[in-house]
Every structure is written in C-alpha cells, then in structure tokens.
Amino acid sequence: MPLSRRGTVALAVAAGVAVAAAVVVTIGVGLGAPQTATSTETAAVTPTPTPTPTPTATGPAADTAVYDLSGLPTADVFAVNPALPVDDDPAGGSTGYVATPASDAIPVFAAPGTAPVAALPSALTYGGTTLPVIEKDDNWVRVLISGRQATPSEGDPAQLTAWLRAADVTLSQDDTRVEVSLSARTITIVSPTGSELVTSDFGWGAAATPTPVGRTFIMYNAVTSFSYTRGHPIVYLGIQSPVLDGFDGQSVAVTAFHYYDDHDGPISNGCIRLGADAIDRLAQLPLGTLVTITA
C-alpha cells in the first residue's frame, strides 16, 4: 500500500520587521529520509509474495519400514499365494506406466498399510518383473503380478494384483496395449499413434479348456525347443488357465501367444495360436505390455 506524505507547512514569523520571512518546514512520514517539497518521487512498496501451497499427498500414507524378505515367498509364475487379491476390475485399463524393482528384491503387499506377503526379485527366470501399473498414487502403485491365488481345483486362479511402494520401483511409460476379442476374432495393438490389426485368424481355447479373459500382461518371451512353434517365439502372459491346475507335467498352466500350424477356431488348451507374422509382431512388444482378452 503506498506510503502517505504530508505537504509543506509554511510558518510565518514576524520579528519586528515590515516584511516577514517565510520559513518552510518539511515533515516526512514513512520509511527513509524526509524528502523536499519539490520532490515528485514516492516510496516504492515491495509486495509480499503469496506462499506456494504445499501439495497434498494423494493415496495411502508412505511406508518407510525396512522388511526382512528372506522368509517371504517369491512372487513368480509358480507362486500360489492366497494372500494376494485377484483383479477386481478385469475389464479395466492401466495408467500407461510399468514398474520394475529398483533393487535386488522388494516387498509385495496385498494392500497399503499391511505387512508384505511376498518378495519380488529384480530378475526371474520366466519374467514377471516388469509389471503394468493399474493404479498410481504418490506413495504406492498397484500392479498386475504373476502367480495365482489358488489353483482352479481349490479356488480362484484369475489374474493377481499387488501393491508396491513407489520408492521401491522404477516407473517407465508404456502406453501400448493389446486387445484380443475372441468373438470378433481380432487381435489389435493400440497405441497413442493409432490401432494396428495384427490378425483376424487365430485359434483359442476349446470349450473344456477355455482361454482366460480379463486384463493381463506380457510376462516373458523366448524362442523355445518346442517343435510346434517352428522356431518362432512364445509370448507368455501373466494369466493362467481357469480350469487346469497344471499342464504337460508342470505345476503351472500359463496362457501364451504362440505359433501353431493349425490356428483356426476354439481348438487349443487355452493358449492363443497364431500364424507366423502375427506371433513375430507380438514378440516385438516390450515386457509388461497390457493385454486385455474379451469373450
């Protein structure tokens, strides 16, 4: 607010002479030295800066505890962990980010504010360490993760989710997703630049061994020794069979994209069988890419 200033006050003093001498006295009000009556300057006011509001943290409070992970089960494709929840929004999307462990192993939580129920290493033989983020807060991220809550014969084998501390992970942007429609017989890659139809010719699960539906992610890809792939890569997903406890003598029944000579209609044990060009294209996508399968 401008500082005020008084004008001049003329004081005439008669001292027994015919003409009185006028004396001008200047009185200054405010900061600084008094100014003369002829000055046109005004004292500048420094505005008080408006404080920048402190951002309000979103989501659950941070957890800065140090946990002993040595006794916790590993969160990998072989895991059967009743403590981890299945995906409650299988038709949902993602935040456009993927998370990877920022250290050799990090704690995995069923919910923020609880004790960890598993450990996620930074490297696993069959992948599953690059995970799509489906919910993101300041202190926590919710991800899709490998493993099952139970085998089909004992419970719900659907896609698992978990919470990770934001401080424990490295986030990278990944806006690409794969959309599989079993009824429309289309597989499409969707990215910010548009949509790419990969194929409209593929095989899927037979009635007795259906392909699981919902959102999942690319867990791992590799060229294997399986003769039916004809040297093409297999792209393994994080979701497993809704009806098979295991497959081909193993304790897991992983769903995958792979090449097969016969790839037309509901003929597989749950995997999605593809032609050569289609499987080679899907194998180019990065780990952690979101995949949504609809009936």
Q: What is the pLDDT of residues 182-224, one digit of tens each?
A: 999 999 999 999 999 999 999 999 999 999 999 999 999 999 9
Q: What is the distance between the alpha carbons of residues 256 and 40, in angstroms, rounded to a whole number?
A: 84
Domain assignment present for residue 130? The answer is: yes
Domain assignment present for residue 192? The answer is: yes
Q: What share of the chain is helix, strand, coil (3-state, %, to 5)?
A: 5, 35, 60
152 and 134 in one domain? yes
Percent of the chain at pLDDT > 70 equals 81
Q: What is the distance between the alpha carbons of residues 3 and 92, in angstroms, rounded to a whole number?
A: 62
Q: What is the distance between the alpha carbons of residues 274 and 230, in angstroms, rounded to a whole number?
A: 12
194 and 156 in one domain? no
Q: What is the pLDDT of residues 247-265, one digit of tens each?
A: 999 999 999 999 999 999 9
Q: What is the distance between the alpha carbons of residues 152 and 155, in angstroms, rounded to a whole number?
A: 5
Given a cut of 60, whether residue 44 has pLDDT beyond it is: no
Domain assignment present for residue 54? The answer is: no
Give the structural domain span for 159: 97-173
Exposed, middle or buried by CB within 10 Å (0-12, 13-18, 19+), for 207? Answer: exposed
What is the token pair recorded at 113?
């504010």
Last residue of a domain, one of 144, 173, 202: 173
Residue 58: the pLDDT is 80
Q: What is the pLDDT of residues 57-106, one digit of tens each?
A: 689 999 999 999 999 999 999 999 999 999 999 999 999 999 999 999 99
At 247 the three-state DSSP class reads strand
* Average pLDDT score over the chain: 87
Q: What is the distance between the alpha carbons of residues 229 and 71, in angstroms, rounded to a whole number?
A: 38
Backbone angles phi, psi at 253, to 5 degrees: -135, 70
Backbone angles phi, psi at 178, to 5 degrees: -115, 130
Of 195, 220, 202, which is closest to residue 274 (Cα–Cα)? 202
CATH number of the CATH domain containing 225 = 2.40.440.10
Q: What is the pLDDT of residues 269-291, one digit of tens each?
A: 999 999 999 999 999 999 999 99
Q: What is the distance between the alpha carbons of residues 262 and 277, in angstroms, rounded to a whole number?
A: 14
118 and 40 in one domain? no
Give the pairing type, strands 177-181 and 290-294: parallel
Last residue of a domain, one of 157, 173, 189: 173
167 and 187 in one domain? no
276 sits in which H/E element: helix 276-282
Of 193, 272, 284, which is closest to residue 237 (Cα–Cα)? 272
273 and 186 in one domain? yes
Of 185, 243, 184, which is closest to residue 212 (Cα–Cα)? 243
Domain assignment present for residue 90? The answer is: no
Total number of domains in the chain: 3
Mean of the pLDDT values across residues 107-130?
98
Q: What is the distance between the alpha carbons of residues 222 and 228, in angstroms, rounded to a whole number?
A: 14
Of 171, 188, 88, which is closest to residue 130 (Cα–Cα)? 171
132 and 222 in one domain? no
251 and 232 in one domain? yes
Of 82, 209, 59, 66, which is closest to residue 157 (Cα–Cα)? 82
236 and 190 in one domain? yes
Last residue of a domain, one of 173, 196, 218: 173
